[in-house]
Chain A
Amino acid sequence: MLKLLKSGFFTSIQDGGRFGYLNKGVPVSGFMDSFSATKINLLLENEPDAALIEITMTGPTIEFEAPTYICLGGAEMSVTLNNSPIQHFKVYKIEQGDILSYGKLKKGFRNFLALKGGIQTAPVLASRSQYYPVTDTNCLKDRSEVPYDSVTTFDPKISEIKVDSFLDETSLEVSQGPEFNQLNDKQLEVLFFKDFKVAKENNRMAYQLADTIAGHKISMLTSATLPGTVQLTPSGKLLILMKDGQTTGGYPRILQLSDKAISILSQKKFGDTVSFKLFKI
């Protein structure tokens, strides 16, 4: 077990996602920034989709009750192991009683902490990702205990990597969404030539953008939505659905973010700016 002495702002268990229940309205969930999360799993020689801990804005303080190996990555945060600073994308050995403590957020928004062998909570509907009401809660609380298998020896093939950071990247690669062709020239111009600020309303379900474009009167029948789908509300608000986003919706789906763009956006917080760059499928 590991124990959260302090849970942080929003700390949850996530894996590669929950598949097979989209037609029951269950979102896919999973790592918000799968680019960073899969990398640290690979350093620990875990399956790329193994369950880990996703940390948002302010991180937790964690006590380990058994030996293991860890690796962290994603948002740049000051993290200490028994009061000594540690680096991102590097494997560290953990002994029983060690304390990992997250400090200041320096860049980005979400950090990931992986353990050798992955988190061992019981899967629900074929995934360990926390999402209420599939799991009992959607995040970990103070004093939450999280199970993992004790590992005493591990000799990583590669113990650290240099990752090209995309945390400063603001351009989101998008393809045309199903209702893209219903946009008018004025809307298109603003969409691709303006920067958009991330609104206060941003979480694992959706990112709202504070800047708007012209509204519309497009009416459509409810249809599927995906992580990375950009919806346009009648009043001209842009909503970007993320990993816990609803599986269907009735607003026009004007753009679709690439996988990399979802990772880039998930590292943005209130007030950061993004822009859209169209690519052709």
Chain B
Amino acid sequence: MSRYSLSIRPFGVHAILVEWPQIVEEAILEDILQFTAHLKGNCLDSSKWEIVPSYNSITLIHREKPIDFNDFKKKIESWYAEKFVTKPRQKFLWRLPVCYDLEFGIDLEEVSQKLNKSIDEVIELHTSFQYTVYGIGFLPGFMYLGGLPTALEVPRRAEPRLHVRKGSVGLAGKQTGIYPQESPGGWNIIGNCSVSMFNPKSETPSFVNVGDKVQFYSIERAAYDLHKIEGEVGIYKLEKIKLDA
């Protein structure tokens, strides 16, 4: 089962960093998720430990006590050498509605010029792919999405904006993503997602998990407004599709 050679290093006295090869790849992400499920299910007391997966690493953080690094490193190695039997969490493809009206997509015209494509072609391309969630961080509920086609790669804006509206959908280099709250930011904004990506009133404040997939679809302004109202009263229903493990 251990297909990768892991690097295990201390990260302060309360945390340990476990790294896979430095490559963005679904096979590595899958191995990380399976090992995380094994750790949570069979090896660690999850009331004491936090596990943060991201791209090619997991960071294990103990909430209270310092970790005996050498001893714990050996444990991690032996756990990784075991045959994991725990099934990772069910993965979903989330279909997320985006309104690409120019009122929201304030950089859409500039992006279309830079990419030498019509606005419709940009939207068509952006909605044609399934993006993999490689990490969640930076802001509560912010997804690091991988799998953007090279045809949509456009550099970050030279000057970041002080205020990017909540829900803004952006492009920057090899990345696309949604601002879960108003924040400063340097991405090119092409639309706005009507679904709130972070809800602190819920026990699962962000519905997406690392390893899930996201596909955007284009909606009209009227549908956007309706979703917003439905979201506020709590009757909006997200579209999700189970993915095979």
B139 touching A22, Cβ below 8 Å: no
We find that the number of chain A residues with CB closer than 8 angstroms to chain B is 36
Which residue of B19, B144, B180 contacts A222 across the interface (Cβ within 8 Å)?
Answer: B144
Q: Which residues of B contact A228 (CB under 8 A)?
A: 12
B205 touching A248, Cβ below 8 Å: no
A26/B52 contact (C-beta < 8 A), A224-B59, A253-B11 known: no
Main DSSP-derived SS at the A contact region: loop
Q: Which residues of B contact A278 (CB under 8 A)?
A: none
Q: Does B114 contact A (CB under 8 A)?
A: no
Q: Which residues of A contact B209 (CB under 8 A)?
A: 23
Q: How many angstroms from the CA of A230 to the CA of B14 in the assembled complex?
A: 15
> Which of B93-101, B103-111, B130-138, B156-164 interfaces with chain A?
B130-138
Minimal Cβ-Cβ distance residue in B for A134: B200
We find that the number of chain B residues with CB closer than 8 angstroms to chain A is 42
Q: Does B74 contact A (CB under 8 A)?
A: no
Q: Which residues of A contact B54 (CB under 8 A)?
A: 221-224, 248
B119 to chain A, nearest CB (A): 30
Q: How many angstroms from the CA of A228 to the CA of B53 in the assembled complex?
A: 19
Q: How many angstroms from the CA of A20 to the CA of B203 in the assembled complex?
A: 11
Q: Which 4 A-B pairs have the closest CB atoms?
A: A248-B137, A224-B59, A256-B12, A221-B55
> Beyond A24-B141, A223-B59: 9 further Cβ-contacts under 8 Å?
A21-B205, A22-B52, A23-B52, A125-B200, A175-B10, A224-B61, A246-B137, A248-B135, A249-B137
User: What is B's interface to A at a CB cutoff of 8 Å?
Assistant: 9-15, 17, 19, 22, 24, 50-57, 59, 61, 63, 69, 134-142, 144, 180-181, 198, 200-201, 205-206, 209-210
Could you give 21 example pairs across A and B, Cβ below 8 Å?
Answer: A23-B209, A24-B140, A24-B141, A25-B136, A25-B137, A25-B142, A133-B140, A133-B181, A177-B11, A221-B22, A222-B54, A222-B137, A223-B57, A223-B59, A226-B11, A226-B14, A226-B15, A229-B12, A247-B52, A248-B54, A249-B137
